[in-house]
Structure 1
Amino acid sequence: MTEPTSHSSSTLRNSTVKYNAPWEEYQRPYVRDLAYVLSCPDVLTKWLDFVPHQDTPTIAVHNTDFWQAQFAAYRERLNELDTTSAYQELTRYLLKRPSPNRLGFHFEGLLSFWLTDGYAHGLHPYEMLANNVQLFCGKQTTGELDLILYNHREKLTEHWELAIKFFMGSAPFAPVNWVGINSNDNLQRKMTHMQTKQFCTVWVDTENHGQVKIDKRYAVIKGHFFLPVTTVNFIYPDWLAPSFPMHYWLAASNNQNNIDDHSSPELTQNQNHVNNFDNTTGPLAGITDIRRAHYIEWFTQRNFYDCEYPENNSVNSNDKISPNLASLQQGLYFMKVPMGHWLDNHLSNDSSQAQDYYYQDASYKEHYVPVVILQTDVNTDQDGLSD
């Protein structure tokens, strides 16, 4: 595997990544999550066939324009949920679902609410016929289908298979190189599983609509991706949506011979590589506050947590001493940076008009950016990222 080019921490530059987060304008956390689910594009611009020797159905992905249109059509309803007691409809719907605190189930619950609520309000043409349809081989359950919908505009029955992924990338940034924080999960493996398992179903038995034949299949894969901090001038592969949320990951290790057995082999090489230039303080220089993210914040940041800083992770604002990187446990962090800090990728590809807006906005002078810390010590705490 080819590794990213190493640069000293003093010469790091923003990668050419785009970051647009319209969900951040909403205040209530579940509304913010729902806005994220709708406005975030699919990670894929096209489906990639990793099993061309197998006879499998055609799989489609929604383009970015599709999700922008759904977000725009639902925006007034999002405002209502964010500012009125209608928010209770959303919270009740999500909390009565099984395992609402698991990220994959939360993602499915948010999309299911939008499908049900949006159809009832005439905001999209998708009627939900069934969800979580069990698949059997004899009497044994072999899996399930996420969503079976009827598209009244196209007059087609559609099967949507969902995945929410938080993957760290490494060169050469092929689908197999985007992997989970502490598992063997990667984008190529997930897509192969979808194609050879769930998407092979043709007929589905539904409780209220009888047996239906699937006409079209869509993979809905969203989340957040993280680039190594060594990456300079990142070029999006043609399969990766250029507006997909992209951030950074950073390795922390005070013993390179003591590698975390749970870490992906795809990332281990990059962890050692990053430590070649990392002096445990350089990459964090200029950061004024750090807080560890709560689990649900892999979706969207909860601003009301920003005032909670563990003492050992806060930065002394008087002498601007950066925290010791090796002391940070593995997981997602929000790091408060001044505008123009190299971790701040918000403005890397924005228009000059957008930059002017941020410069005039005093609240943007310092702001939080998400960064994943990969701790290579065995005894560190782990954040699992599987569905």
Structure 2
Amino acid sequence: MSASAEPRPFSQPVIRHLAWLCRAPQLYHGDQTFHPRDWLPADHEQVLRYWDRHPDNLPPLLQPPFPRRLGLYVEQLYACLLQDLLGWTLLARNLQIREGQRTLGELDFLVLNTATQQVEHHEIAVKFYLGHDTCGRVRWYGTNTRDRLDLKTDRLLQHQAQMTTTAAGQACLADLGVIARPRVRLFMPGYLFQPLEGLLPVPAQVAPDHGAGRWCHVADSARLPPMHWVVLHKPHWLGPWQQPATPEIGLLQQVAEQVEHDGRACLLARMEPALEGWQETERLFVVPNAWPGSASLG
């Protein structure tokens, strides 16, 4: 698609992030997957653009200050998606399920789908995984190597999605007047980053049009030709980055030196001219040479 055919970008970062959540393909694609696009009203794009042009009229959930942690920020955006875009009734957020003095877990969202009049239990996560092949064994690691795509998916399906089937979960729901078991919905958009060289097999559960990028060790970053890169800081890991100013050339090697010095990875976006300013066209994680032996990517 040519730049002239691209939709006009949103100027408010929070609207850009919310729009990405509405459309993002997911890292778990199954019967329980929740696709907001299937439920969004026909005028949702106009609503987003109105909010973008009139920040004084933003819903309270889209107004600063925002949570510093990315996960909490995403939860706030998701609550806005459910409540202010879909018009559904939010019954509970982060509802703790307790058995005596012990906390068994919590429900991310309990919501009334006003289109079906059915209560739904939504579990959400936005994840970023890097593929690594060790002697023919492919693993997809998160920004902390203790987090893996297979482990996260298993926990979503086998633990978090099952909380409402437990006696403690049912008792908690009954206290809210919910008798019938809620329908479970899972929402896990994100990105998979392939090695700089080669293409690893993607798990069957992942949507074919999932968000994608590349990763490389510091030692391999010098093989990339000079291009326009910018560092992406949270929460701007959500959705494509845009900016009016021309990015500098040569930033990649500066970042690579810092990554090796600090032992912490960095996420970058490659930029190209767009309809207005510069637009992200590719993502790259630069990781320490010791990764995945090092514990964390940041």
Both proteins in one fold, TM over 0.5:
yes
Task: Answer yes or no: is the 8 Å Cα contact 1:23–1:35 preserved in 2.
Answer: no
Task: Return the alpha-carbon distance in structure 2 between the equivalents of residues 119 and 190 of structure 1.
Answer: 27
Percent identity reads 22
Say whether residues 1:241 and 2:180 are aligned partners: no
Match of 2:238 in 1: 299
Q: Which amino acid aligns with 2:93?
A: N
Task: Return the alpha-carbon distance in structure 2 between the equivalents of residues 83 and 373 of structure 1.
Answer: 36
How far does residue 26 in structure 1 lie from its aligned partner after superposition?
1.2
Q: Deviations over 1:270-317 (max 9, x none)?
A: xxxxxxxx3x522x2131x333222222113553496686xxxx429x
Distance change >3 Å, CA 29–CA 325, structure 1 → 2: closer
Q: Which amino acid aligns with 1:89?
A: P
TM-score norm. by structure 2 comes to 0.78
Q: Kindly tell me the number of residue pairs found equivalent between the two proteins.
A: 279
1:30-109 equivalences under 5 Å are 30-46=14-30, 60-62=32-34, 67=37, 70=40, 72-84=42-54, 85-87=56-58, 89-92=60-63, 95=65, 100-109=67-76
User: Residue 287 of structure 2: which of 374, 377, 386 is its match?
Assistant: 374
User: Residue 172 of structure 2: which of 196, 200, 205 is its match?
Assistant: 205
Q: What stretches of structure 1 of length at least 5 have no aligned partner?
A: 1-21, 48-59, 121-125, 254-277, 317-321, 339-357
Larger RCO (CA under 8 A, 6+ residues apart): 1
Instruction: Report the aligned-residue RMSD.
Output: 3.6
Say which is worse superposed, 74-83 or 23-32, in terms of deviation.
Answer: 23-32
Say which is worse superposed, 72-81 or 324-333, in terms of deviation.
Answer: 324-333
Task: Return the alpha-carbon distance in structure 1 between the equivalents of residues 276 and 160 of structure 2.
Answer: 49
Task: Answer yes or no: is the 8 Å Cα contact 2:119–2:182 preserved in 1.
Answer: yes
Q: Which amino acid aligns with 2:33?
A: V
Task: Return the alpha-carbon distance in structure 2 between the equivalents of residues 180 and 135 of structure 1.
Answer: 27
Distance change >3 Å, CA 308–CA 296, structure 1 → 2: farther
Task: Return the alpha-carbon distance in structure 1 between the equivalents of residues 144 and 7 of structure 2.
Answer: 28
SS at match of 2:33: coil
Say whether residues 1:285 and 2:202 are aligned partners: no
Q: Deviations over 1:194-218 (max 9, x none)?
A: 2332222232636994344323111
SS at match of 2:214: strand
User: Residue 118 of structure 2: which of 156, 172, 179 is its match?
Assistant: 156
SS at match of 1:79: helix
SS at match of 1:129: strand
Q: Deviations over 1:202-248 (max 9, x none)?
A: 3263699434432311111112221111125x765542212221111
Q: Which amino acid aligns with 1:81?
A: W
User: Residue 191 of structure 2: which of 221, 224, 248 is its match?
Assistant: 224
Match of 2:84 in 1: 117
Q: Deviations over 1:72-113 (max 9, x none)?
A: 542111011100122363433x636xxx12111111110101
Task: Return the alpha-carbon distance in structure 1 between the equivalents of residues 26 and 171 of structure 2.
Answer: 25
User: Residue 267 of structure 2: which of 316, 332, 337 is its match?
Assistant: 332
Say whether residues 1:29 and 2:13 are aligned partners: yes
Q: What stretches of structure 2 of length at least 5 have no aligned partner?
A: 1-5, 260-264
How far does residue 186 in structure 1 lie from its aligned partner after superposition?
0.9
Distance change >3 Å, CA 30–CA 75, structure 1 → 2: same
Task: Return the alpha-carbon distance in structure 2 between the equivalents of residues 176 and 161 of structure 1.
Answer: 26
Higher strand share: 2
